[in-house]
Structure 1
Amino acid sequence: MSFAASTLLLPSPDATWRVWKPRSTSGGEAVETPSSVANQGKPLVVGLPATACRTVGMILPNADHEILEQIIITQLERKGLKLEGGAHRNFRWHLLTQTASLATVSVDILADPFPQDLALSQASDYTAALRLLSLPNGHLVIAEEHGALVLAANYQGKLYHSHLFAPATAAADEIAQDITLARLALEQDLGVGSISGITLVGSAWVPEITETLTSSTELPTRVVPHLPPNNELDTKSWPQLLPASVRVAQTSASRRGNLIRFSILGGLLFVAMGFLAFAYLRFQEKTASELEAAVEATAEPAMQVKKTVERWKALAPAIEPRRYPMFILAEITKLMPPSGIVIRDFEIKDNEIDIRGEARDAQMAFQFVEDLQKHSVLGQYSWSKPQPTVRDKTAQFRAQGKRQ
């Protein structure tokens, strides 16, 4: 995401705010409070005043990003700043430049506690207000934010350090003294001669102040009405920085939105299912009516067909060769062993066969019935167990088969 496609909310010299829309060059639209910014569908980036976001610059030994972040956390904790890491981090560091041995970083740290009037649930990101602006390279910037003076230093046009140092009503001598002290401290980090001038931002500066600052600090001083947004900033690699209260509000809003969407989808699904069920019921009723009509139309012909089938079934023993008594008897005879089985009585009645005979022993009687069950034609009958009775050294048995 580029700031050129974002709406920026920046503090004004007085207690109001300015809304910079994408591609705007007119100085922004004034609003009374941050909450009065309308959601226009574009990402809203809130530029925080120095009272809500402190910016600290550091020169550190160069290392990979994970180790460098641990060094930054350690250095800031030594300064007494309370930091939170992980998903709820309250700081973000920016790598301004790095060499083989040194890394120049600038860290934005949210105030604790964070001002509730700045906790906007529609905000997409927070950062220091001066980081969003184009800073004159090598100049100390003195800007008024909500009635207080802020001093900012930059490195190659990128915000390096900023802090509140005086009320807006401070005298020129007091401002010059603070600038001199800040210059000495900053040049220890950035190098002697890195600060080449002073830029006063705003329209309330009087010529006497610029003359005093120039003579006291020996730095050329100029006045600009405002600093334009830096449209070249690209935040694709920036981790999101949000106050804890904003994260909670956005998470709750997301859950509510998901619940509402699921409820709407569930309602639509219920209506769709009801419509489908109604349509299916109507279709089934229509199909049932058509089937009833078809049944009524074919009832009499179907009855005639059924009677015909029954007649053919009754004639099956007489017209089907494989059901002729002589054919069946021949097949039974083929299954009989050369000796040991004698058929005493053979009777066929409709679909039943009744065989009475004698076997040498009970085992042979059982084997004979098993052979009947395995036969291709006789196996179509369900045969009862022979239950032989042994008399006079022979086993008399009876096997009954019923066509399946």
Structure 2
Amino acid sequence: MSGFQLKRQSGHFLRFPGEEAWETWTGASGEQLQLTPDAPATTGGVAAVETLAFDSSPFWLLLSEGSADAADAVSLRWESLGLASEGQAKPWVHWTVAKSGKRMLIATVALNGESMLTDWRRLSPEWFEPSACLLPLPPDAITVWKELGRFVAAFTHGPRLLHVTTLTSRSLDADAAFELRDLHAALQAHGFAEAVQTLHIWTHSEPDFAPQLACLFEAADIIKDQRPAPVLPAQPSGMLPAEMVHIRRQKQQRRQRVLLMAAAAMIYLAFFGAWWASLSLRETRLLRTEAVLAAAQPEIDSVRETQQQWMDVEPAINPDLYPVELFHQVVSLLPDEGIRLKEFQVNAERIVISGEAASVNMATLFRDKLFACVPLQRYSWNVPQPRIRDEDNRAEFRAEGTLTGGATGHEAQ
């Protein structure tokens, strides 16, 4: 039974097949259970599977040098009858009834798939037991009671349950008495049953049922009584329907999926938690930097103001920016003849030079000297292509320089 562990606890919730409906019993293993009709149906507990869901097949097992394995023999017997145990499912149970010389009488019951306990998926019992195995059956007796509208007969050999079955009769009348006689005779024919000492009737019967039983079982006493309370065994039998294995496997898979989702959620939270912590740290650093800048802002403003003042007076104190000096630098680039200046404008940020050259080559040479002049490299020059006049083929040129503070960048078109 690896994979599914049974929970051991002091109190149990038992679902037991009553005469017409399921009953709820509570109590501890080995003790008298209490009928609790108003108890809500809870998950877990014990499911007493009704006799209709079982086939019973007692047999004699030959002991050879004490090496016979009853469990293997029971498995082979049910497999020969067409039943099989798949995986962790255990659809049958067995127990020893008696020993005689080198033979051992084995009683066994197996699930046939006809259980009326259809809410296993909802209740998810912890373990399963045959209902007949939970009742205190009288020794060497035939006991009759009712489960979910069907009559059940149990045959005991000494104090142990030998055989249990659901009667075909739908009422306890003379026909049901003959059916019990035939069942007992078949058990005797195989050497399973002894003489019946008592006949116990734990449910309502027709008027002709008991007299007919007295005629068929002359040596047996007939006792009418109420069905006693079920008693849970100290240890589970280990029975586990295949359907329940499937249900538990599905629950285990769902549990694993939930754990995986929880782990993914934890990773997700950890990732975004770290991300949020990183953002918080960066924000803290940014706020600290802003605080430092805010504290230094008066000093920064003072430096900027001073810088602006220097920039304002620079044209007056920097010789390189004097209009006369700039004009001298431009004129020094002119050849002795061939170029004539027509315009020279200068202000704090801009110089405009225009003129005419004897040829395009002379205008281009002037442009190259203008770009290469170191004192004039604090200007960014834009020099379009010279325009050639039709009447005398002289080249008119124009150059515009913008003060950039020392960075060089020229554009010739």
Is the 8 Å Cα contact of residues 7 and 20 (structure 1) preserved in structure 2? yes
1:213 aligned to 2:221? no
Question: Which position in structure 1 is the counterpart of 2:41?
Answer: 38
Structure 1 181/171 Cα, relative in aligned 2: closer, same or farther at 3 Å? same
Counterpart Cα distance in 1 of 2:105 and 2:10: 26
Counterpart Cα distance in 2 of 1:270 and 1:226: 60
Task: Report the Cα offset of residue 30 of structure 1.
Answer: 7.8
Q: How many residues align?
A: 281
1:21 aligned to 2:26? yes
Question: Which position in structure 1 is the counterpart of 2:148?
Answer: 146
Q: What's the CA shift string for 1:172-230, capped at 9, x where partnerless?
A: 3x23222222223334534533x31111112x236653344234312111122112212
What is the DSSP-based 3-state SS (H/G/I as helix, E as strand, rest coil) of the residue aligned with 1:185? helix
Structure 1 210/60 Cα, relative in aligned 2: closer, same or farther at 3 Å? same
Task: Report the Cα offset of residue 278 of structure 1.
Answer: 2.7
What is the DSSP-based 3-state SS (H/G/I as helix, E as strand, rest coil) of the residue aligned with 2:27? coil
Listed as ranges, the gaps of 5+ residues in structure 1 are: 32-36, 295-404
Is the 8 Å Cα contact of residues 3 and 233 (structure 1) preserved in structure 2? no
What is the DSSP-based 3-state SS (H/G/I as helix, E as strand, rest coil) of the residue aligned with 2:259? helix
Structure 1 66/272 Cα, relative in aligned 2: closer, same or farther at 3 Å? farther
Question: Which position in structure 1 is the counterpart of 2:238?
Answer: 239
Question: Which position in structure 2 is the counterpart of 1:363?
Answer: none
Is the 8 Å Cα contact of residues 129 and 239 (structure 2) preserved in structure 1? no
Structure 1 25/128 Cα, relative in aligned 2: closer, same or farther at 3 Å? closer
Structure 1 91/66 Cα, relative in aligned 2: closer, same or farther at 3 Å? farther
The TM-score, its normalising length taken from structure 1, stands at 0.58
Task: Report the Cα offset of residue 82 of structure 1.
Answer: 2.6
Task: Report the Cα offset of residue 96 of structure 1.
Answer: 4.3
The amino acid across from 1:214 in the alignment is: A
Is the 8 Å Cα contact of residues 50 and 115 (structure 2) preserved in structure 1? no
Task: Report the Cα offset of residue 255 of structure 1.
Answer: 1.1
Task: Report the Cα offset of residue 252 of structure 1.
Answer: 1.6
1:5 aligned to 2:11? yes
Structure 1 47/5 Cα, relative in aligned 2: closer, same or farther at 3 Å? same
Counterpart Cα distance in 2 of 1:284 and 1:99: 88
Structure 1 75/97 Cα, relative in aligned 2: closer, same or farther at 3 Å? same
* 1:140-289 alignment, distance < 5 Å: 140-172=142-174, 174-187=175-188, 188-190=190-192, 192-193=194-195, 195-202=196-203, 204-205=204-205, 209-218=209-218, 219-235=220-236, 238-242=237-241, 244-279=242-277, 282-283=280-281
**Identical columns (%):** 14
Task: Report the Cα offset of residue 61 of structure 1.
Answer: 1.9
Structure 1 12/191 Cα, relative in aligned 2: closer, same or farther at 3 Å? closer
Structure 1 164/246 Cα, relative in aligned 2: closer, same or farther at 3 Å? same
The amino acid across from 2:37 in the alignment is: E
Is the 8 Å Cα contact of residues 210 and 222 (structure 1) preserved in structure 2? no
Is the 8 Å Cα contact of residues 135 and 227 (structure 1) preserved in structure 2? no
Counterpart Cα distance in 2 of 1:221 and 1:292: 102
Counterpart Cα distance in 2 of 1:278 and 1:179: 79
Task: Report the Cα offset of residue 152 of structure 1.
Answer: 0.8
Counterpart Cα distance in 2 of 1:234 and 1:248: 23
Is the 8 Å Cα contact of residues 5 and 22 (structure 1) preserved in structure 2? yes
1:55 aligned to 2:56? yes
The amino acid across from 2:130 in the alignment is: A
Question: Which position in structure 1 is the counterpart of 2:392?
Answer: none
Listed as ranges, the gaps of 5+ residues in structure 2 are: 1-6, 293-413
Counterpart Cα distance in 2 of 1:146 and 1:255: 34
Task: Report the Cα offset of residue 89 of structure 1.
Answer: 4.1
Task: Report the Cα offset of residue 171 of structure 1.
Answer: 1.9
What is the DSSP-based 3-state SS (H/G/I as helix, E as strand, rest coil) of the residue aligned with 1:51? helix
Task: Report the Cα offset of residue 282 of structure 1.
Answer: 3.6
Is the 8 Å Cα contact of residues 56 and 162 (structure 1) preserved in structure 2? no
What is the DSSP-based 3-state SS (H/G/I as helix, E as strand, rest coil) of the residue aligned with 1:87? coil
The amino acid across from 1:216 in the alignment is: L
What is the DSSP-based 3-state SS (H/G/I as helix, E as strand, rest coil) of the residue aligned with 2:88? helix
Question: Which position in structure 2 is the counterpart of 1:333?
Answer: none
What is the DSSP-based 3-state SS (H/G/I as helix, E as strand, rest coil) of the residue aligned with 1:205? coil
Task: Report the Cα offset of residue 124 of structure 1.
Answer: 2.6
Is the 8 Å Cα contact of residues 135 and 231 (structure 2) preserved in structure 1? yes
The amino acid across from 1:217 in the alignment is: F
